[in-house]
Amino acid sequence: MSSTPTLVRRRPNHRRLSTPSRPPRPHRLSFCQPLPPSLEALDLSSASPTQTLASLRFLVLSYLAEIELRLSYIGGEEHSELPITDQSNTIDDVRDWARTTLDMLDSIRADVCSHLPEFGLPDITVEKLRSHLPDLPEVPSITSHLPDFDFDFDDFDLRNKLDDVRTRFNDLDFHQPLEFIPTLSARLQTLQSHMSTIELPQLGQTGGGTLHSLHLLLHDLVDSLLSSELVTDILNSAPDKGLKLKESLKESEEMLERAAKEVAYAVKRSFEGVKLISYSDLPQEWKNNPFVTQGYRFIPIERWHLIVLSLFALHNETLNIHTHLVPFSVWLFKSVPCGSADADLPEILFMSFALLCLLSSAIWHTMSGCAHLSSMEFCARVDYVGIGWLISASVGTIVHYGFQDCHPTLHKSFLALCFATGLAGNIFPFMKWFNEYQYRGYRVLFFLSLAFSSLAPLAALAYTQSIREMFEFIKPVIPSLLSYIIGLVFYVSHVPERYLPEDWRRRLDTFGGGSHCIWHCFIVLAVSQHKAAIRAMRDGMVCYA
């Protein structure tokens, strides 16, 4: 077979009357900022890290501009044919190759501008800098060998092809310039690999004037930078940091992708929120009680009216909602002023925080069937805030009536402690880990610690008065304390659903008659009992001179 190269001629450009002529593509020599007029000597081993990074920035931008200058001449109007030895490479192949290269140059340039520092340096000209680089041909010496392609880059879309390349470098947003060096090396090597996919050997007829020489230049540039002592020391100072960040990004992407698939599947199973689904259909973040297996809502937030209407439907949260919503409504109605001065300020404050707890609980159990994770989690955290303030207000009533007359200093100090525990109940629930199921035990311990803060004022009462008088004083509170404890046991143990047969579980899941509902009933009972205890404690302690 003859080795004579085949001449691939360009077809005459017969423009349709309905199609406007395409303007020639201007030369794209874009830099983030104009190049500095001079540089320090590129002795990477003796330069400071900032100088090294600035020099790296200048070298890479100069190299990208040199490649772009050569590619821009492909759009010249004076050439009409291109010698190609590889019959598999058509004019369209070369066009795609050049376009992809230009897009990759833009992407690398943007990353370099955003990660590497720039500053003006004296004492060496750009011409002297170029003496550090291999000899490159003058642009006119190679333009005569490039085709007269009419590249209309604005109309031809290669984004889908570039996505496959760009997803290979996931180290996207490094915050430290030094950590960007390995990423830059990988980006440049990818660019070099891409440029080598098209063979144009006829460009080598002028000495050194081939694209292959540009590839060699890039190889030498990367090797010299990465092998310098300073850059090696910089990279070795944090050898695993970039890798860990890359792995973390990959893990986050996989987790988001998994969560999105689980949510889409659950929405599909629920027929866009119309049908109840099972525990196994739920995404991981919505799974709270593995012993409640049926009756779950999963309603897209866009269909919020279905969430509201679910207040009046049967599902596994029905009783959990109404065991707190009904008492809230009754007590709120009774709290409307009607001319009675029977309630004092501590009782009013306690009932206000109790109503807050009941309302936030009802909202959370309504929103637990929402398919929007952020909204669902926010309501769950607000529910925890209501519990924290209820506990702090309960302890506060004991402190107020126990110390207000005899020990005003202790009265103020312990009330400040109650306020601090209430603030803690505002802060901790909004920590990321707090609402996760595996930390359920820690949540219980946290709220128990808020309740145990009452031991300090009780010990002070026993010390300033006597143990017998302290027990006589808190005796009215004991029934509500027992109700809280019994309800908490049901909540923690998942009794009775843990031990029921599957068919009985399904029946309870129809309306939500499990351990959580029982816990709610004991909370309402405890609030009612503590309200009665407040009136029994109003007389306070007897002061001894």
Residue at 5 is within a domain = no
pLDDT digits (tens, 9 = 90+) for 334-366: 887 654 556 689 999 999 999 999 999 999 999
Q: Are residues 500 and 479 in the same domain?
A: yes
Last residue of a domain, one of 189, 217, 239: 239
- Confirm or deny that 14 is annotated as ligand binding: no
Residue 70 or 498, more confident = 498
CB 497 within 8 A of CB 508: yes
- Confirm or deny that 520 is annotated as ligand binding: yes
pLDDT digits (tens, 9 = 90+) for 416-449: 999 999 999 999 999 989 998 889 999 999 999 9
Q: Are residues 476 and 391 in the same domain?
A: yes
CA distance 543 to 545: 7
Which of 90-104, 325-339, 369-383, 470-484 has the least mean pLDDT?
Answer: 90-104
pLDDT value, residue 243: 60
Q: Are residues 398 and 532 in the same domain?
A: yes
Specify the CATH number for the domain of residue 439: 1.20.1070
Q: Are residues 367 and 263 in the same domain?
A: no
Residue 357 to residues 11, 68, 184, 364, 488: CA-CA distances in angstroms? 79, 65, 54, 11, 15
Dmax over CA atoms of the chain, in Å, equals 122
CB 274 within 8 A of CB 266: no
Q: Which residues contact 164 (CB under 8 A, 6 or more apart)?
A: none
Q: Which residues contact 345 (CB under 8 A, 6 or more apart)?
A: none
Angle separating helix axes 91-115 and 49-72, nearest 10 degrees:
160
- 346: how many CB neighbours lie within 10 A of its CB? 19
Residue at 27 is within a domain = yes
Last residue of a domain, one of 218, 239, 260: 239
In three-state secondary structure terms, 112 is: helix
Residue at 202 is within a domain = yes
% residues pLDDT > 90 (the chain) = 47
Q: Are residues 181 and 69 in the same domain?
A: yes
* Backbone region of residue 52 per phi and psi (left: phi > 0; alpha: psi in -120 to 50; beta: other values): alpha
CA distance 430 to 27: 54
* Amino acid sitting at position 196: S
Q: Are residues 376 and 388 in the same domain?
A: yes
Q: Are residues 169 and 233 in the same domain?
A: yes
pLDDT digits (tens, 9 = 90+) for 7-26: 444 444 444 434 444 444 44
Residue at 420 is within a domain = yes
Q: Are residues 134 and 274 in the same domain?
A: no
CA distance 545 to 539: 17
Determine if the pTM surpasses 0.85: no
CB 383 within 8 A of CB 361: yes
Q: How many domains does the chain have?
A: 3
- Token digits of residue 42: 């590129």
Residue 404 to residues 67, 455, 536: CA-CA distances in angstroms? 83, 18, 15
Q: Are residues 248 and 220 in the same domain?
A: no
Q: Are residues 265 and 398 in the same domain?
A: no
Q: Which domain holds residue 263?
A: 241-280
- Confirm or deny that 516 is annotated as ligand binding: yes
Q: Are residues 48 and 153 in the same domain?
A: yes
CA distance 441 to 87: 70
